[in-house]
């Protein structure tokens, strides 16, 4: 039981600054972005399907590791075979690490063996900031009715526990497709900061 307060300091409330933190259960922000071939994609056009957004930067060492061991491509393939629309998004600003032109994006996808439906280019960072994308990778899973199901890390491998291994995106999709609640709807994403 806390009684008298002898000293009170640091009373200024922390200003709510920085990126938004989208909560699962809320509507995923609408967007329209051109892909590496100039074709425009809007979230609304994928209504009725599960959508995964993967923020990426092909030069970020954490992304490199996920592709080097084939882990990300395997997850993309697994999801695509289940009818999920998997979109990679690049929000690196021109001149910053990971920025790509359309042609460079196609080269990256080919070289890395991507299994995503498209790589979307967001050089202004507008969509990344609307989603509060913080790291590469940073993952979002969206339900067929446009509701956010998952916001966070690809897996629990940021921990030092070598025994830990849970792919949060696969888990969220599997649970949602089975009509279950997503057991881990958020986790702290890890990786390089998005180079806005």
Question: What gap in Å lies between CA 89 and CA 33, rounded to an integer?
Answer: 9
Contact call for residue 160 and other proteins (CB under 8 A): yes
Smaller CB separation from other proteins, 5 or 178: 5
Residue indicated by tokens 């084939």: 70
Closest CB 58 distance from other proteins, rounded Å: 12
The single residue among 19, 34, 74, 177 that binds other proteins, judged by CB under 8 A, is: 19
Smaller CB separation from other proteins, 76 or 151: 151
The single residue among 34, 62, 74, 177 that binds other proteins, judged by CB under 8 A, is: 62
Geometric angle at alpha carbon 70, from 66 and 75, rounded to 5°: 85
Contact call for residue 191 and other proteins (CB under 8 A): yes
Residue indicated by tokens 């600003």: 93
Contact call for residue 7 and other proteins (CB under 8 A): yes
Question: What gap in Å lies between CA 85 and CA 99, rounded to an integer?
Answer: 23
Contact call for residue 178 and other proteins (CB under 8 A): no
Question: What gap in Å lies between CA 39 and CA 154, rounded to an integer?
Answer: 27
For other proteins, the binding residues in 111-130 under the rule CB under 8 A are none
Compute φ and ψ for 11, nearest 5 degrees: -80, -15
For other proteins, the binding residues in 130-149 under the rule CB under 8 A are 134-135
Contact call for residue 8 and other proteins (CB under 8 A): yes
Total Cβ atoms within 10 A of residue 54: 27
């Amino acid at each position: 039981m806390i009684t008298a307060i002898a000293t009170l300091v640091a009373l200024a409330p922390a200003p709510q600054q920085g990126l938004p933190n989208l909560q699962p259960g809320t509507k995923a922000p609408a967007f329209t972005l051109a892909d590496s071939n100039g074709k425009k994609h809007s979230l609304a056009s994928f209504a009725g399907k599960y959508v995964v957004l993967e923020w990426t930067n092909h030069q970020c060492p954490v992304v490199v590791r996920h592709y080097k061991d084939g882990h990300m491509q395997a997850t993309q393939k697994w999801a695509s075979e289940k009818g999920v629309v998997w979109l990679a998004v690049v929000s690196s600003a021109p001149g910053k690490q990971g920025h790509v032109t359309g042609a460079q994006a196609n080269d990256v996808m080919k070289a890395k063996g991507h299994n995503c439906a498209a790589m979307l280019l967001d050089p202004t960072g507008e969509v990344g900031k609307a989603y509060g994308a913080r790291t590469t990778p940073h993952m979002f899973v969206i339900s067929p009715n446009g509701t956010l199901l998952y916001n966070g890390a690809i897996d629990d491998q940021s921990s030092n526990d070598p025994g830990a291994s849970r792919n949060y995106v696969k888990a969220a999709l599997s649970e949602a497709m089975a009509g279950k609640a997503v057991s881990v709807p958020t986790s702290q994403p890890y990786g390089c900061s998005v180079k806005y």
